[in-house]
């Protein structure tokens, strides 16, 4: 067996394919394209909708695979897939996509119907636990009810007479895996958890809950084990990508879990911070434990990640970038590139490190798991400190505070103190001030992985496990991650 494996990450911002060399323990080739498949109408964007064309997403996947194969001249042993593990794509009995893909960023379930949001109605129908300021959750599901998760989106479609009940739901990576192999989409526990109606104790759908929500059992995918082979690359895909026909494809797994597997060498003594479009603080635990306002997500093959998710991330910094970008355009008709604005903001904030401005920012622009009603704030403004560099630095410090708070909460849940801090994701790798702020908060030096595209690495490692290159994902991470 060769040492080459292909990993695909179907992200919100970009789509990436990589080839890893398990002997050299590094990524040897990669290709990334921007995910330009969003088709949300302007009037729907104002309502918080987020819809995408799955055919365009798949075209992006095909393009990155072909580029990676053509550049490397390598035929991988197997292919692993990951990506945004929430959202909704409907498909028919012929495995053809029907309608747009609704992404995890979609806010339609916060809309009101007869004075209550769809999340609140769903919670009441299913007998969810409801605490003040926290999102409702169903028992044993490991996560709260969140707009953008798959089951709430199904519920919204059902209650707006937009759901053809002959169709089945899946997420983007699950659909992409089926397209590569011409098989019916399936899911694994790492993805199924983020639908919102997965029973952690039974490792299966909570069908009684699904019935109470007036959703049909047939709308939900078959659940299979992580790191299992779901099919092989078809002749059609081989001709489009130059992949070898018959190459095994492993089941899609969640990007959060794959990122952990592609970043962490020592699962038991590490707290992992990932900052991409979203952000997570994660620790591994072998058994189900009380989770407080955190999420308890099945890990690949066994164990769980106790994680603070969805509070802050790259999109938090993007709020400030968008403000600056629009202000400059409205004042000067100059549309500065986003990367330039990010770079300038960080450079300016770095200069303000020398002086404590006293200005304080809360980065909770979309609320948090602890308090979904929370809003972003700027406090302690004076005429001496109201400058963009101080706002930027305070925003970055707020992001570090929220990511660290999740770790502190995990300790309260019974997790042992960790001695290793690992960081990943472009939102962290490109922001030295955030790295420094996290090191200060945790009291640990932050280790930033040498390889980029950690989620795709994790997916590639999953495919290695699937074809018995590794005995399990634990061994795969230990063997590959430096």
* Dist. CA 475–CA 94, nearest whole Å: 38
* Dist. CA 100–CA 172, nearest whole Å: 11
Q: Quote the tokens at residue 224.
A: 């299979």
Least Cα distance to 79 among 184, 191, 4 occurs for 4
Other residues' Cβ atoms within 10 Å of the Cβ of residue 331 = 8
- The b/e string for 259-269 (b: 16+ C-beta within 10 A; e otherwise) is bbbbbbbebee
> For 382-392, what is the mean pLDDT?
93
* Dist. CA 382–CA 401, nearest whole Å: 23
What is the pLDDT confidence band of residue 320, given thresholds at 50, 70 and 90? Answer: very high
Q: What's the mean per-residue pLDDT of the chain?
A: 95
Run of H or E residues at 304 = strand 304-309
* Dist. CA 99–CA 54, nearest whole Å: 9
pLDDT over threshold 80, residue 35: yes
Q: pLDDT tens digits for 239-287?
A: 999 999 999 999 999 999 999 999 999 999 999 999 988 899 999 999 9
* Dist. CA 21–CA 263, nearest whole Å: 15
Domains and CATH numbers, the chain: 4-265+454-469 (3.30.420.40), 266-448 (3.30.420.40)
> For 154-178, what is the mean pLDDT?
97
- Residue partners of 66: CB distance under 8 A and separation at least 6: 240, 241, 242
Run of H or E residues at 362 = strand 360-362
Angle at 124 between CA 122 and CA 125, to 5 degrees: 65
Helix (H, G, I), strand (E, B) or coil at 37: coil
Q: pLDDT tens digits for 339-362?
A: 999 999 999 999 877 666 789 999
Q: pLDDT tens digits for 81-91?
A: 999 889 999 99
* Dist. CA 11–CA 402, nearest whole Å: 23
Q: For residue 371, what pLDDT is reported?
A: 86
> For 141-149, what is the mean pLDDT?
92
Run of H or E residues at 296 = strand 295-298
* Dist. CA 147–CA 145, nearest whole Å: 7
Q: pLDDT tens digits for 96-127?
A: 999 999 999 999 999 999 899 999 999 999 99
Least Cα distance to 264 among 33, 11, 480 occurs for 480
* Dist. CA 51–CA 54, nearest whole Å: 9
Tokens 């969810």 found at: 128
* Dist. CA 312–CA 149, nearest whole Å: 17
Burial of 42 (0-12, 13-18, 19+ CB in 10 A): exposed
Other residues' Cβ atoms within 10 Å of the Cβ of residue 199 = 19
Determine contact, residues 54/97, Cβ cutoff 8 Å: yes
> For 439-451, what is the mean pLDDT?
93
Can you name the residues that pair with 204 across neighbouring β-strands?
A: 199
């Amino acid at each position: 067996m060769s040492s080459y494996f292909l990993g695909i990450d179907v992200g919100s911002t970009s789509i990436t394919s990589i080839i890893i060399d398990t002997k050299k323990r590094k990524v040897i080739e990669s290709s990334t394209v921007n995910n330009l498949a969003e088709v949300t109408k302007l009037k729907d964007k104002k309502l918080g909708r987020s819809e995408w064309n799955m055919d365009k997403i798949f075209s992006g996947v095909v393009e990155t695979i072909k580029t990676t194969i053509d550049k490397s001249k390598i035929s991988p042993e197997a292919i692993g897939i990951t990506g945004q593990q929430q959202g909704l794509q409907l498909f028919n009995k012929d495995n053809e996509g029907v309608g747009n893909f609704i992404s995890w960023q979609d806010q339609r379930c916060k809309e009101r119907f007869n004075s209550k949001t769809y999340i609140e109605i769903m919670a009441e129908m299913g007998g969810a636990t409801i605490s003040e300021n926290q999102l409702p959750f169903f028992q044993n599901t490991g996560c709260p009810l969140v707009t953008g998760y798959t089951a709430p989106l199904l519920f919204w479609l059902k209650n707006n007479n937009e759901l053809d009940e002959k169709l089945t739901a899946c997420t983007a990576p699950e659909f992409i895996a089926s397209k590569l192999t011409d098989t019916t989409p399936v899911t694994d526990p790492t993805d199924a958890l983020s639908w919102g109606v997965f029973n952690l104790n039974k490792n299966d759908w909570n069908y009684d809950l699904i019935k109470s929500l007036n959703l049909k059992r047939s709308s939900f995918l078959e659940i299979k084990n992580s790191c299992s082979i779901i099919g092989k690359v078809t002749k059609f895909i081989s001709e489009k990508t130059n992949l070898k026909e018959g190459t095994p494809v492993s089941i899609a797994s969640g990007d959060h879990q794959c990122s952990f597997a592609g970043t962490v060498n020592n699962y038991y003594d590490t707290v992992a911070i990932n900052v991409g479009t979203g952000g997570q603080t994660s620790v591994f635990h072998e058994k189900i434990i009380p989770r407080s306002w955190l999420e308890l997500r099945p890990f690949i093959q066994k164990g769980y990640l106790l994680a603070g998710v969805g509070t802050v991330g790259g999109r938090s910094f993007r709020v400030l970038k968008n403000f600056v970008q629009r202000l400059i355009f409205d004042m000067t008709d100059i549309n500065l590139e986003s990367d330039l604005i990010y770079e300038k903001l960080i450079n300016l904030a770095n200069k303000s490190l020398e002086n404590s401005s006293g200005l304080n920012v809360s980065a909770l622009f979309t609320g948090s798991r602890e308090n979904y009603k929370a809003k972003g704030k700027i406090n302690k403004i004076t005429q001496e400190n109201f400058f963009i560099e101080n706002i930027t630095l305070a925003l970055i410090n707020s992001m570090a505070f929220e990511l660290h708070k999740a770790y502190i909460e995990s300790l309260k849940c019974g997790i042992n103190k960790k001695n290793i801090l690992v960081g990943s994701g472009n939102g962290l790798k490109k922001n030295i001030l955030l790295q420094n702020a996290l090191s200060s908060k945790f009291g640990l030096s932050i280790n930033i992985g040498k390889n980029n595209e950690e989620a795709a690495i994790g997916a590639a490692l999953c495919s290695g496990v699937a074809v018995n290159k590794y005995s399990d994902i634990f061994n795969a991470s230990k063997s590959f991650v430096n």
